[in-house]
């Protein structure tokens, strides 16, 4: 099972700091359940403030024990529909690690395209600096 890190938070971040990014009154949080347990979650928020707030940004996580069950695809599809209902005109993911093949497969299957790549934009302890992709999908 793939245990690579795909989030930018390292050991210097406390659980409280990470939860403040994810769980707050500004971010709707949605969860997926599998066999009565939380299997994954995502948040939606504006990618930028003010004049950039019509583009949604999403962050997703799937439990290691739930991977391979299509949870990422379910979360992605739900987030697209939710973003449309909330009035967003597009969705952008600013940091998709190039080694995260499962996420890349899901995003592309749901109509997202790589619109840019930051060479060496993410550090993985076992591989060193790897590329980070920026994904976008129109909602109009």
Domains, the chain: 15-138 (3.40.630.30)
77-86 CB contacts, 8 Å cutoff, 24+ apart: 77/110, 78/30, 78/32, 78/42, 79/30, 79/42, 79/44, 80/110, 80/111, 80/137, 80/139, 82/28, 82/30, 82/44, 83/44, 83/56, 83/58, 83/139, 84/139, 86/28, 86/44, 86/56
Q: Cα(55)–Cα(83) distance, rounded to whole angstroms?
A: 9
pTM comes to 0.87
pLDDT for the residue numbered 31: 94
Q: Cα(72)–Cα(11) distance, rounded to whole angstroms?
A: 25
Per-residue pLDDT of the chain (140 residues; tens, 9 = 90+): 455 677 777 778 888 887 777 777 778 889 999 999 999 999 999 999 999 999 999 999 899 889 889 999 999 999 999 999 999 999 999 999 999 999 999 999 999 999 999 999 999 989 999 999 999 999 99
């Amino acid at each position: 099972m793939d245990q690579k890190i795909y989030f930018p938070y390292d050991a210097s971040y406390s659980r409280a700091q990470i939860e403040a990014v994810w769980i707050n009154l500004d971010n709707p949080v949605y969860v997926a359940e599998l066999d009565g347990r939380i299997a994954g979650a995502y948040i939606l928020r504006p990618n930028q403030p003010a004049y950039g707030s019509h583009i949604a940004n999403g962050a997703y996580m799937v439990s290691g024990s739930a991977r391979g069950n299509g949870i990422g695809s379910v979360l992605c599809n739900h987030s697209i529909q939710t973003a449309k209902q909330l009035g967003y005109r597009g969705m952008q993911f600013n940091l998709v690690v190039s080694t995260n093949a499962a996420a890349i497969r899901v995003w592309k299957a749901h109509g997202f395209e790589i619109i840019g790549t930051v060479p060496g934009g993410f550090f993985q302890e076992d591989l060193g600096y790897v590329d980070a992709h920026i994904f976008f999908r129109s909602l109009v």
